[in-house]
Amino acid sequence: RAPCEIIEILESGFETLAQSKSQSLLKKHLTQEIFDKIKTRVTPSYCSTLLDCIQSGLCNHDSGVGIYAPDPEAYSTFAELFDPIIDDYHMGFKGADKHPATCFGYGSDFPNLDPEQRFIVSTRIRCARSIKDFPFNPCLTKKDYRHLECMINKVLKTLCNEHSGKFMALSCMEKEEQQQLIDDHLLFKEGDRFLQDANASRFWPTGRGIFINQNRTFIVWVNEEDHIRVISMEKGGDLGRAYERMIIGVESLAHSLKFSHDKRLGYLTFCPSNLGTTIRASVHIKLPNLGADKAKLEEVAKKHNLQVRGTSGEHSEAKDGVYDISNKRRLGLTEYQVVMEMHKGITALIDAECQAG
Ligand code: ADP
Ligand code: CIR
């Protein structure tokens, strides 16, 4: 697109968003002043525009965040917009703040959240990694996708013991098998409109795939929202055991892959909500009492910096009274602190559930 056409689309999208009832962080922080200041900028290496960053939020007024970084440089080129959104999402991360050095702690720091198995159906913990010297989804060519898949797959083959498993390319998978894995909560869904409108689904299913170990407790997503998502999950509430498995997995990959890391923002991801530790630790939890009053559930979750999602993940509904509850912030704290925040929050939530009965 010609630069003047991009500005025209931006101007009209901005106008419509400003007049909308959107609750997104994009709408909240994209003031006229900031918009005018950054609307003609492009990133140095990939020439990504402001439109590339906010297209998804302009098309989807129901976005929670509404902005993505098409390449790692976007975080600095468009800092006037990303910084307040990052500060808001992660609940306090100012321009001068620096993400701390990695500190995982140990799985044994986090005792089972539900030893009597009354509330927690399953526990999942994931982190994201981007491969150094590659941009994010919207700037990847078909060749890049294949190259990344090949590089990552080669390293996945070296994993051993509990972490060993097999890689399945999405392009070689039957539709039924794909749907079964989605229903089992193992695989990412297809056709996410937030990602599609961010230009993050080009050449689909090229380069996309999933690696699963024998027990179906260690999973790696390849080239979905991020180059790599490392996931550990199991039935019940043993967060420590799930966490330990994720740490071993991601550290093993780090021996052979170089990740994009920023002095200030920690591990770099496509969505600013995932920066820093990139960790989302969640439980699928039954909360019959709290769930009967959604406002009360949201209130307790908010008090403990937790986020409530539906049973099939973000932008889905809770089925059979099962909620996906996880830490909200991921940046400005160590991995240990993030997981501790979630552990304490879920413990308090279970207490509140018992008291509400
Ligand atoms: P993420 O951003 O962590 O990848 P999504 O909200 O897109 O999260 O969810 C991805 C998948 O993981 C969905 O199928 C969701 O149901 C599943 N999931 C999330 N938390 C749990 C959990 N604690 N137990 C089982 N499945 C889970
Ligand atoms: C939104 O703004 O609601 C979507 N763009 C998703 C934002 C955060 N989720 C994510 O990174 N998975």
Q: What is the ipTM of this complex?
A: 0.97
Q: Residue 200: CB within 6 Å of ligand 2?
A: no
Binding residue numbers for ATP: 122-126, 185, 229, 280-284, 309-314
pLDDT, position 353: 95
Distance from chain centroid for Cα 256: 23
For the sheet with 228-235, list strands across it: 165-169, 209-213, 218-222, 228-235, 120-129, 280-286, 322-327, 306-309
**pLDDT-flagged residues of the chain (< 70):** none
Domains in the chain: ranges and CATH: 3-89 (1.10.135.10), 107-356 (3.30.590.10)
Cα gap 303→247, rounded to integer Å: 28
pLDDT, position 313: 87
Per-residue tokens: 104 = 């995982």
pLDDT, position 314: 87
pLDDT, position 155: 98
Q: Residue 252: CB within 6 Å of ligand 2?
A: no
pLDDT, position 132: 98
Specify the ligand 1 atom closest to the Cα of 311.
16
Q: Identify the sign of the CA torsion 218, 224, 228, 229.
A: negative
> Among the residues of 121-238, which ranges form H helices?
142-156, 175-183, 193-197
What length does the chain have?
357
Cα gap 310→330, rounded to integer Å: 20
Cα–Cα–Cα angle for 47, 48, 50, rounded to 5 degrees: 130
User: Which secondary-structure segment (H or E) carries 308?
Assistant: strand 306-309
Do the Cβ atoms of 315 and 194 come closer than 8 Å? Answer: yes
Q: Tokens 């013991």 belong to which residue?
A: 161
Cα–Cα–Cα angle for 222, 225, 227, rounded to 5 degrees: 40
Question: By alpha-carbon position, which residue is closest to atom 16 of ligand 1?
Answer: 312
Distance 192 CA to ligand 2 centre (A): 10
pTM of the model: 0.97
Residue 169, strand partner residues: 209
Specify the ligand 1 atom closest to the Cα of 310.
16
Do the Cβ atoms of 231 and 218 come closer than 8 Å? Answer: yes
pLDDT, position 274: 98
Give per-residue pLDDT as tens, 260-291.
Answer: 999 999 999 999 999 999 999 999 999 999 99
pLDDT, position 64: 98
